[in-house]
Structure 1
């Protein structure tokens, strides 16, 4: 919600967010929503790498990149009145500003670099999707 200048932002840690989300939406479990988000992100990059450059993203064993994905959660209702929460993509950014990530996760870059360059996923806050 930082698209408005001088907006009053409430910054919360992801653990607190998950707890609040599940308290406010008791019919929906965060792990199911998160799985939908991860599936969407994976599909974005699979689609973006289907074509050769310059139309698509090229695969290169010697290269690494970091992206930020902005999304929103949308309430959907099917024909039978059953509700679901679906992720909606807002934008994807190459080499994003990581100031807030570092503020809330002091080991942010250590975790990211361990995953990207050392293929080390243990004891990190990085999830392989």
Structure 2
């Protein structure tokens, strides 16, 4: 893990920790043993799939149109957020039956 200085503007200096994927997973699973990373990752991938299915379900300009010559690459910066369950417990995602 390395510390990175980013100059956000001329007055504010922010330090971020860059954690590479292969370091992140063991750290995550140690901190949140009740959430195996493979399950969290599967939910994230499912959300991405649903996003692109919805975005391509309508023709352009309302959706992402088909363009066979496209070599587009999509990237996502992702932040995980806690949700609150019915009993006040912290959840990364609601566990859905059948998934």
Same fold (TM over 0.5): yes
- How far apart in 1 are the matches of 2:48 and 2:7? 25
Instruction: Quote the residue 2:96 is aligned against.
Output: none
Aligned match of 1:31 in 29, 38, 56? 38
Name the structure with the higher helix share: 1
- 1:71-93 CA-partner distances (Å, limit 9, x unpaired): 2212223224554213xxxxxxx
Give the length in aligned residue pairs: 85
**Where do residues 3-82 of structure 1 align in structure 2 (5 Å cutoff)?**
5=8, 6-81=13-88
- Unaligned 5+ segments in structure 1 are 87-129
Which contiguous aligned blocks of 4+ residues in structure 1 show a shift greater than 4 angstroms?
Answer: none
- Are the structure 2 counterparts of residues 68 and 4 from structure 1 closer, same or farther at C-alpha, using a change threshold of 3 Å? farther
- 1:45-92 CA-partner distances (Å, limit 9, x unpaired): 111111111111112332221112122212223224554213xxxxxx
Q: Secondary structure at the match of 1:38?
A: helix
- How far apart in 2 are the matches of 1:57 and 1:18? 32
- Unaligned 5+ segments in structure 2 are 94-99
Whose Rg is larger? 2
